[in-house]
């Protein structure tokens, strides 16, 4: 733990897994793989933080006729079972949990706050975190946005590509190119 590293578990929620409102193929498998990885590697992290889409009334983010770019079908609705952490993460015991997107679209975990109103950046800074590993759903959207924001904050940022899944293979390839170009390290667990 000499590098003060945190594990950021992004939006691993039933709403983004098979059977959910905005399902990503492979979501359930990734949720289980993240749970296994976190259990086996917990000692390597100073902090484990989860993020969740937690939409109360996100305005134009929800649409009855979504374009799947800026507008989406309702998902991650606050207070529903689909918005909770995936059941595979029941034993995760995160050090902090951040919810985002209550009243607006929010892709990056850095747009969220915990129950005390602390932003993700404050939580990480308060723990002296210098490096993050980012995992979760979906690689092409919220994982990418969270990783890019972490890098912008000066954190050494790594995405564990086998512990995330994109909406489509094409969007995943584009996301990995964008992350790599920005300076995010892509690795496997």
Looking at the annotation, which residues are catalytic? 11, 100, 142
**82 contacts 92 by C-beta, under 8 angstroms:** no
DSSP codes of every residue in 99-122 = EE-SSS---SGGG-B-TTS-BHHH
- Using DSSP's 3-state secondary structure scheme, residue 18 falls into coil
Strand order in the sheet with 47-53: 96-100, 47-53, 5-10, 131-137, 156-165, 185-187
């Amino acid at each position: 733990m000499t590098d003060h590293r945190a594990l950021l578990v992004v939006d691993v929620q039933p709403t983004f897994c098979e059977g959910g409102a905005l399902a990503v193929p492979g979501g359930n498998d990734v949720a289980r793989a993240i749970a296994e990885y976190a259990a086996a590697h917990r000692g390597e992290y100073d902090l484990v933080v989860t993020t969740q889409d937690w939409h109360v009334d996100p305005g134009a983010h929800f649409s009855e006729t979504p374009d799947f770019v800026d507008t989406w079908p309702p998902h991650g609705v606050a207070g529903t079972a689909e918005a909770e952490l995936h059941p595979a993460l029941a034993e995760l015991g995160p050090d902090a949990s951040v919810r985002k997107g209550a009243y607006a679209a929010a892709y990056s975990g850095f747009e969220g706050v915990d129950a005390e109103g602390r932003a993700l950046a404050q939580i990480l800074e308060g723990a002296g975190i210098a490096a993050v590993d980012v995992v979760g759903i979906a690689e092409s959207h919220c994982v990418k946005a969270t990783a890019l924001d972490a890098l912008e904050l000066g954190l050494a940022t790594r995405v564990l590509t086998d512990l995330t899944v994109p909406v489509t293979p094409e969007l995943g390839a584009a996301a990995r190119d964008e992350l790599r170009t920005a300076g995010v390290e892509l690795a496997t667990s």
